């Protein structure tokens, strides 16, 4: 879901990369939400009679704000409702604490073709209960981790490229891949300064469908958001994440303007 953009497909075909970008945990392990109390499940429903369905993940940033990917909110219809579920281990279960979303704002420069500026803020209608051990905010890391450093990504996405989704929370550690190297693998011009890449060149471990918008974390700080990739855990195709520090001012300005 999400991460597919036709222009990137055309560019990748021209470059000889025959795998289309996919909405991007493969090769991971089950984990308890207590280890990642900033993680939330973002759920939608189209009508009052529908059940809420998990679509994306996100990270709690402040008492009323969640950071996620722009592609998670850009196509929300007026009649749809959005719920942020914090402290949940399961993707569609009844555990966790639901918080209705009041507003969702994506970056105006976000492009579904290039998947650049892939960031959004969700403002909840209440405030997160930070006295609860399973709900905590996550600060933004100001600098890029060095190439090769292991970062952790969590989510409820596919366990392999063709599915199925996991019902329980999983995490996987993936190393930073430099933007120059990542660009040479994905194609010229594909990787911008607002992106950061992570993954093993041998493949086997990655974020996947359903993890979109979820946090990429290093030393308990937010580095990236699951954004795009070609398939899941394929060799020589590391996952591409929104580099959040490059857009921190937009995040803070957007929160201030919408509270």
Give CA–CA dist 214/203, Å, rounded.
20
pLDDT at position 94 = 79
Q: Which run of H or of E encompasses 140?
A: none
**Which positions of the chain have pLDDT values less than 50?**
1-24
Tokens for 92? 């569609």
pLDDT at position 233 = 73
Give me the DSSP letters along 142-163: SSPPPTT-EEEEEES-BSSTT-
Q: 214 burial class (0-12, 13-18, 19+ CB within 10 angstroms)?
A: buried
pLDDT at position 204 = 72
Other residues' Cβ atoms within 10 Å of the Cβ of residue 162: 10
pLDDT at position 12 = 37
pLDDT at position 47 = 80
Q: State residue 10 phi and psi, 5-degree precision.
A: -65, -40
pTM: 0.87
Give CA–CA dist 172/194, Å, rounded.
22
pLDDT at position 46 = 80
Give CA–CA dist 44/225, Å, rounded.
19
Give CA–CA dist 125/242, Å, rounded.
26
Give CA–CA dist 240/51, Å, rounded.
31
């Amino acid at each position: 879901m999400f991460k597919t953009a036709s222009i990137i497909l055309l560019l990748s075909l021209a470059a000889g990369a025959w795998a289309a970008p996919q909405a991007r945990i493969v090769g991971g392990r089950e984990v308890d939400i207590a280890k990642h109390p900033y993680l939330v499940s973002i759920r939608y429903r189209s009508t009052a009679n529908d059940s809420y369905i998990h679509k994306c993940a996100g990270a709690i940033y402040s008492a009323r704000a969640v950071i996620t990917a722009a592609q998670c909110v850009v196509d929300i219809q007026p009649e749809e409702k959005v719920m942020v579920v914090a402290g949940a281990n399961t993707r569609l279960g009844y555990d966790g604490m639901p918080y209705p979303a009041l507003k969702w704002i994506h970056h105006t420069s976000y492009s579904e073709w290039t998947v650049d500026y892939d960031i959004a803020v969700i403002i909840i209608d209440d405030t997160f209960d930070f006295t609860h051990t399973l709900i905590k905010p996550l600060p933004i890391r100001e600098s890029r981790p060095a190439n090769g450093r292991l970062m952790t990504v969590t989510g409820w996405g596919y366990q392999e490229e063709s599915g199925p989704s996991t019902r329980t929370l999983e995490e996987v550690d993936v190393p930073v891949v430099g933007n120059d190297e990542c660009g040479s693998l994905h194609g010229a011009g594909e990787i911008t300064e607002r992106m950061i890449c992570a993954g093993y060149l041998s493949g086997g471990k990655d974020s996947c469908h359903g993890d979109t918008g979820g946090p990429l974390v290093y030393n308990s700080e937010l580095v990236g958001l699951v954004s795009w990739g070609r398939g899941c855990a394929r060799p020589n195709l590391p996952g591409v994440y929104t580099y959040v520090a490059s857009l921190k001012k937009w995040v803070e300005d957007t929160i201030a303007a919408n509270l």
